[in-house]
Chains A and B, each alone.
Chain A
Amino acid sequence: MENVESISLRLRYEAFSKYAAGISKCKEVASLADVLVKYIKYLMPFNFGRVLIFKDQYYYEILYNNQKTQVNIGGNAILCEFEKTAIDTLIPQLKNKNDIDFNSLEHTFRDFDLTADSFEQLSIVPLINVSTYSALFGFSSKNSQFISQVDNQFATLMLDLFLTKFSEIKLSIDTQVQRETIENNFEIISNKNLEIEQVLINQDNLIKKRTEQLEARNKVLEEYSWITSHEIRRPLANILGLVDLAYHDLEDKESLRTSIKLLKDSALELDHEVKRANLLLAERT
């Protein structure tokens, strides 16, 4: 019997190498299913089967028989009793057709034309990928054919390679999505920074403009102050002096006339300076 097993292993070895090469070349999850189904017939009994990968609220399922392959993706994976047992114990489950609730099987394969007598045995091989996905490979044998330990070993190896590549591709997709999100956020932040920078530039310009305005206003006020303290004060002081002089010269008409003339000159000068100060305020403030 040992020799028969070595023949069985030798026969399947090349197909498994080709399967491994095919899986490693896959870039998308969609092509993984084609490679898996293509090599099942060389590595274990080929009848109908199901590969299920799941975690949390996500599952990926391949259903196949010799007529077609169907891939389903959904939210909550529904496991039958012996599938639950396989996952809980991580021990492969081998069932004869009489031990299986065909209605449950028929529901899973509702798009396939299964009949209760279309298989002999069903094997469920479980696998858990460290901290990510759980997986099951269920496959059946045709009537009067029996599933061997070697079949289960190859099913485990196939599922292991499949799950590793599946996780790698999904991780790559998730990473890509995360990178795109980060890039989008970075772009939003960059745009916001540009807006803030523009606001700061505008504020700076405004402050400069206001400062210039205030400086100009201060200069006007300084000039105004100079005019009032010197240019206006001087004729006004003259007027006050002349008024005192005129008061003392009331008897001397000649002197009084001279004082009045000088008073008029100073008053005109005062008028001129007041007008100049008003004009300065009106034009430059």
Chain B
Amino acid sequence: MYKITSYEDASADTKAIYDDSMRTLGIPFVLNWLKCQGENPIILKGNWEKLKSTLLMGDVPNVLKQIIIHNISKKKNCNYCATVHGIFANSMSDVLTSDDDFILTENLTNDIIPSSYKAAIKIITNAAVNPQSFTEEDINALKAEGFSSTEIIELLSLADFVNMATTIADISGIKVDNELLEVA
């Protein structure tokens, strides 16, 4: 549905964003999620900056953010986002999300994982899937786990980001990047 703009065909502005994405993510290729927006460098720039500031910067460990996005994407049946963020969460292995015997996001009551991770995954997933149900109690629950106000904003920003990301992935109809599947 969306046109996929390859690196070779991209405009100078789009190429600059592609370069930044490869540099920042530490991967030698451009994600399909970015390439499907490459025709419009203004929109691409806004969404890439949103991804960077939400997912790659801040105090909350990236692995926790990737797991939260993976979990929300699964709930929203977005195969692209669930797969890509599952791979990033695992850091190119299948320890965290794809093991046959133990899947982290389906074992949130296990005591061997610090409760802050479990609370964040559960509360932010609910906030993304059903934002109207989010209450002050959820904020207090995150505070009880030791999250500061700035960390809570950082976590909640994942909820709106993942809705935007899955929407783009779903309506564009992009496929999971072959380069990621090869190393996963």
Same complex origin of A and B: yes
Q: Is the CB of A14 within 8 A of B116?
A: no
Map CB proximity to B onto A25-43 as digits: 1 under 8 Å, 0 otherwise.
Answer: 0000000000001101111
Cβ B115 vs Cβ A46 within 8 A:
yes
Contacts of A46 in B (CB 8 A): 114-116, 145-146
The digit string for A91-113, where 1 denotes a CB below 8 A from any CB of B, is 00000000000000000000000
Interface residues on B, range: 20 to 34
The complex places the Cα of A43 from the Cα of B114 at a distance, in Å, of 7
Asked if A15 and B115 sit within 8 Å, CB to CB, the answer is: no
Residues of chain A lying within 8 A (CB to CB) of residue B63: 10-11, 13-14
Give the nearest-CB partner of B95 in chain A.
A10
Chain B interface: which of A140-148, A172-180, A248-256?
Answer: A140-148
What 1/0 mask marks residues of chain B from 50 to 82 whose CB sits below 8 Å from any chain A CB?
Answer: 000000000101111000000000000000000
B111 within 8 A of A: yes
Is the pair B116, A7 in contact by a Cβ cutoff of 8 Å?
Answer: no
Q: Report the bound CA distance from A10 to B117 in whole Å.
A: 12
Is B113's CB within 8 Å of the partner chain A? yes
Interface size on A, residues (CB 8 A): 29
Given A10, A41, A66, which contacts B96 in the complex, CB threshold below 8 Å?
A10
- Main SS class of interface, B: loop
A146–B111 Cα distance when bound, in Å, is 6
User: What are the residues of chain B within 8 A of A70 when measuring CB–CB?
Assistant: none
Q: Is A282 an interface residue (CB 8 A)?
A: no
The residues in A between 21 and 71 inclusive whose CB is less than 8 angstroms from any CB of B are 37-38, 40-46, 66
Give the CA-CA distance A40 to B114 in the complex, in Å: 9
Select from chain B the residue with minimum beta-carbon distance to A64: B146
How many angstroms from the CA of A43 to the CA of B115 in the assembled complex? 10
A145 to B111 alpha-carbon distance, docked (Å): 6
Q: Whole-angstrom distance between the alpha carbons of A44 and B63 in the complex?
A: 16
**CA A142 to CA B62, docked complex, whole Å:** 25
Whether B61 and A14, one on each chain, are in contact in the complex, defined by CB atoms closer than 8 angstroms, is: yes
C-alpha spacing A58/B147, complex, angstroms: 32
- Asked if B99 contacts A3 (CB within 8 A), the reply is yes
In contact, A148 and B112 (Cβ under 8 angstroms): yes
A100 to B9, CA, bound (A): 69
Besides A7-B96, A148-B111, 13 other A-B contacts (C-beta < 8 A): A3-B101, A5-B112, A7-B113, A10-B63, A11-B63, A11-B96, A13-B63, A18-B61, A41-B145, A42-B61, A44-B114, A66-B145, A145-B111
Q: List 5 A-B contacts (CB under 8 A).
A: A8-B112, A11-B114, A18-B59, A41-B116, A148-B111
When A and B form their complex, which 6 residue pairs have the shortest distance between CB atoms, in order from nearest? A41-B146, A41-B116, A46-B146, A14-B61, A8-B112, A15-B61
